[in-house]
Chains A and B, each alone.
Chain A
Amino acid sequence: MSKECCGPGYASPKEAMQADREKLLYTVALYVGTGVEKPDYLATVDVDPDSPTYSSVVARTEMPQVGDELHHSGWNACSSCHNDASKTRQYLLMPGVRTSNINVIDTSDATNPKLHKVISGDDIKAKTNLSAPHTVHCLGPDIIISMLGDADGNAPGGFLHINEDFEIVGRWENDITGMNYNYDFWYQPRHNMMVSSEWGAPNTFMPGFDLEDVGAGKYGQSIHFWDFEGKKIVKSIDMGADGMIPLEVRGLHDPESNEGMFAATLSSNVFRWWKTDDGDFEIEKVIDIPTIDVDGFPVPMPSLITDILISMDDKYLYFANWLHGDLRQYDITDRANPKMTGQVWLGGMLGKAPEVNGVTVQGAPQMIQLSLDGKRLYATTSLFSSWDNQFYPGMKDKGAQMFMIDCDTENGGMSINPDFVVDFGNEPNGPSRCHEMRYPGGDVTSDIWL
């Protein structure tokens, strides 16, 4: 863990990799769209192999209101405040995409997180005309949250600025010109850059996925590069058919680096992005997953790359193909030419691994989280309640699952750990959906170094 003199997180990505092995993992767990009329909750999972409760849910922290659709989450402070001893990584902000509530969870007692405060979705709508909170990032006393719609669920949304006391400051951006839709974002102040991606308007994606909406241009296909200090877009790139529905945006962890990766989910391509020496931004497609013709399907099935992440040493890229049902590892030492080094199958519509570790997989690999040392990749199988119900209708009655994949960081390679599975089909209040995961001490998708 960090030295006593310092603030949250780690001095560098290299130091983060030396941290103790993760013992607890948080995941959101949802009842939206399951028929169980209970609030979503934060599930604390024991991932310490020496513990008698290893591979099980050890605490459940209920949100105060039904129907949030918890999705992603973020900390009040991360390694970007490592030099500020007055800061602690204590609060996990958990937005509800459907209610627009932002639940603030106090994790002082890591094994027993408690609700601290709710920023009301109605307040957010009234004060900022924004709804559908998604990605949470912090920087000093500020917290920025991407918002996917206006108060009525229309595009393009914007960015919500809240302070360290979890009060609404207002909208973060100065100018949103050029943005059609909003989704994820990542920033690196050292290079004065921010990158944001596009899903669709809440009114479009909330009810479910419809190819007609894609044809009508209701889903995003652009990526936006920002002047972070000026809080305005400096370049937008429309990727056309190659770049449909760009979701998770990841930067390399090394703060010297001014590049990263993102996936176009529907087109199922991975792009590399970077800032050039003269301050321009460029992208290039570096991975293209072919569609597969499946009997009985009238259109070729995309792999649907739904989550993507980069290991702390910036050596490996991992991503999940939620329709095909595989997880992949690529060596990205040569940034422009990723080499596939590992692959495992979990559930999915191709039927390659319907049962894993004695459990019938509902869905397929979706959200992923990697240990700081890069050796363990955790995967959950739910995407979004209404989309789950379209593609994997069994999940609403049987719940989603969490698996762990052992990763070879020397030679590349992945294998499903046979001793770890958390079946959210067995939850006490009924089957639930597990989605994004975080470690109490920070993980490979939460922290930024200045």
Chain B
Amino acid sequence: MTARPSHKVTVANRGGRELNVAEGENIADACEQAGIAVPIACRYGGCITCAGRLVSGSVRQPKGTALNKRQSQDGYILMCVAQPKQDCVVEVGVETHTSLYRNPFLGPLK
């Protein structure tokens, strides 16, 4: 038996904690196992509660439907479905949501 390959995920805004996330595992589960509280709700990529920022690296987000193009371009990912493809640096939590939401009546849509 060989261990599944894993990638290092650094949670920048939780003291730079480093997690080993196995291929196929998502970042939210890895955070919870490490005792890092993250917002979480639907666990299938359909709501936006767990959104956080991908600072560097890349992830797969199978079934992740909750983010629109603007939010993705702004670097947001859904931690409950995000599986690292390589070593990543992320920021988690509601404090990262400053540019996640916008009032649709307050400016031209992109």
Measured CB to CB, the residues of A under 8 A from B are 32-35, 37, 66-69, 96, 98-100, 131, 149, 152-153, 202-203, 206-212, 296-299, 301, 323, 385-386, 389-391, 393, 396
Number of cross-chain contacts by CB at 8 Å: 103
Q: Are A152 and B63 in contact (CB under 8 A)?
A: yes
Known contacts A68-B41, A99-B42, A152-B63; is A207 also within 8 Å of B106 by CB? no
Known: A67-B42, A152-B65. 15 other contacts (CB 8 A): A33-B49, A66-B39, A98-B41, A98-B42, A99-B43, A100-B42, A153-B47, A202-B42, A202-B46, A207-B66, A211-B105, A386-B47, A389-B100, A390-B101, A390-B102
Q: Least Cβ distance of B30 to chain A in Å?
A: 16
Q: Are A203 and B65 in contact (CB under 8 A)?
A: yes
B102 nearest CB neighbor, chain A only:
A390
CA distance A66 to B32 in the complex (A): 12
Q: Report the stretch among B3-11, B52-60, B90-98 that lies at the interface.
A: B90-98
Known contacts A206-B46, A206-B66, A207-B47; is A391 also within 8 Å of B103 by CB? yes
Measured CB to CB, the residues of B under 8 A from A are 37-44, 46-49, 63, 65-68, 71, 93-95, 97, 100-109
Main secondary structure of the interface of A (DSSP, over half): loop
Q: Least Cβ distance of A27 to chain B in Å?
A: 20
A-B contact pairs, 11 of them (CB 8 A): A32-B39, A33-B39, A37-B39, A69-B47, A98-B42, A149-B46, A152-B65, A212-B68, A297-B106, A299-B105, A385-B49
Q: Are B38 and A37 in contact (CB under 8 A)?
A: yes
Known contacts A153-B44, A203-B65, A206-B47; is A211 also within 8 Å of B39 by CB? no
Contact of A67 among B40, B100, B101 (CB under 8 A): B40
Contact of B93 among A35, A100, A208, A385 (CB under 8 A): A35
Q: By CB atoms of chain A within 10 A, which of B39, B68, B100, B109 has the most?
A: B39
B76 nearest CB neighbor, chain A only:
A207
Known contacts A34-B94, A35-B94, A98-B49; is A207 also within 8 Å of B67 by CB? yes
Contact of B104 among A100, A203, A209 (CB under 8 A): A209
CA distance A202 to B42 in the complex (A): 10
Contact of A207 among B37, B71, B109 (CB under 8 A): B71
Q: Are B104 and A390 in contact (CB under 8 A)?
A: yes
Contact of A35 among B46, B67, B95 (CB under 8 A): B95
Q: Least Cβ distance of A95 to chain B in Å?
A: 13
CA distance A206 to B66 in the complex (A): 7
Known contacts A34-B94, A152-B63, A296-B106; is A207 also within 8 Å of B40 by CB? no
Q: Least Cβ distance of A399 to chain B in Å?
A: 14
CA distance A37 to B71 in the complex (A): 22
Q: Are A211 and B109 in contact (CB under 8 A)?
A: yes
* 7 closest A-B pairs by CB: A67-B41, A153-B46, A98-B41, A35-B94, A206-B47, A37-B37, A207-B48
